[in-house]
Amino acid sequence: MLSLAQYAALCAELAVFPEQAEAIFERYGLSVPRDRLTVDLAWQERLRRDPAEHQRWQAGYRHYVAYWTELRTRGQR
């Protein structure tokens, strides 16, 4: 299972670089679509049940979107 920070980073990276989805999933150890779905559904349920954790995820997601967007703007990915 990915940590909260890893899941936020994964979601953000996929949002900024959708054309690189397969490579991104592979880096996170999620090359098998069934595993992706399992992780995603588990996190969705966990975040739904825990509003404080959901807020932490949102903060992490915003942080990583800004980070990946900056790299993309610089042409580093």
* pLDDT tens digit sequence for 7-31: 999 999 999 999 999 999 999 999 9
Tell me the domain boundaries of the chain: 4-73
Confidence class for position 75, pLDDT limits 50, 70, 90: confident
Is pLDDT above 90 for 77?
no
Give the pair of three-digit tokens for residue 65. 């979107």
Question: Structure pTM?
Answer: 0.93
Q: Decide: 4 and 63 in contact? Cβ < 8 Å.
A: no
Q: Which amino acid is at 17?
A: F
The predicted pLDDT at position 43 comes to 98
The predicted pLDDT at position 9 comes to 98
The predicted pLDDT at position 60 comes to 99
Rounded CA separation 74/64 (Å): 15
